[in-house]
Amino acid sequence: MKGAGVIAATGLLSFLTLVAGPSTAAQEPAPLQFSGLINDYSPSTVSGGPWEMHGQWTLSINAWSGKADFSADMTMSGYGKNEMGDPDATQGGQSAHTHHIRLTGTVTWNTTGCPTYSPSTYGGFQLNGTVSLLTANGSNAKFETSPPSSTMQVCVSGGEGNGSVPFSNITLTFGSGSPAVSHFGGQPIHGVVRGWNQQWDTLRRFDSAQQGLK
């Protein structure tokens, strides 16, 4: 995956101030908002797997501080077994349950170490840290510690060039050794960016300007 360069927090602040004008220089801009869907499968090697995963997520970022709040609300269900004891896709919807996940931290304005795609994605950012909430049917998940200790990486990237969608893909990846890996697996969990607020167009213009200076 190609990175779009590191966007310095001070540079982004100056650019947003320039775009907004002097009358709003002392005001904090509205958060940068993202939302989308999650649709993927867990490995068959996890407890009870494979699981089918569906959900929705939101991400709110303070453009000046880079602080971000991520949340995901998911449903998961498994499969029955055939006579050989293997998962049977015709018996889907077994052991259905829900998960709520929360992560707060500081955004890193590059995708170094993020999962790759084919076709490739470009640009983007990531959020890393220890989750503050990880439930199963509303209660603290039995596979998780209390308080939660699982780490997670959230990566957002997209297309480049005219006619592209600059923010299209998201992955959630639980860190090696995290209790959550026993249930979700350690692989990237894939999803789609469904929308972002207008200020992301400002961020994209700033990012393009940074690329032009190289």
Q: What is the pLDDT of residues 95-154, one digit of tens each?
A: 899 999 999 999 999 999 999 999 999 999 999 999 999 999 999 999 999 999 999 999
Q: pLDDT tens for residues 181-192?
A: 999 999 999 999
Query: DSSP letters of 167-204?
Result: S-EEEEEEPTT-TTHHHH-SSPEEEEEEEE-THHHHHH
Domain residues for 17? Answer: 9-23+31-76+92-212
pLDDT band at 91 (very low <50, low <70, confident <90, very high): confident
Residue 199 lies in a domain: yes
Closest CA to 207 of 128, 122, 127: 122
9-20 vs 199-212: helix axis angle to the nearest 10? 120
Give per-residue pLDDT as tens, 50-69: 999 999 999 999 878 899 99
Q: What is the 3-state secondary structure (H, E, C) of 61-78?
A: ECCCCCEEEEEEEEEEEE
The DSSP symbol for 18 reads H
Q: Which residue has the tokens 């992560």?
A: 103
Residue 25 phi/psi, 5° resolution? -60, -30
Quick check: is 1 in a domain? no
User: Is residue 112 a part of any domain in this protein?
Assistant: yes
**Residue 174 lies inside a defined structural domain of this protein:** yes
Q: Considering its fold, how many domains does the chain have in total? A: 1
Residue 4 lies in a domain: no
- Residue 70 included in any domain: yes
Q: Is residue 40 part of a domain?
A: yes
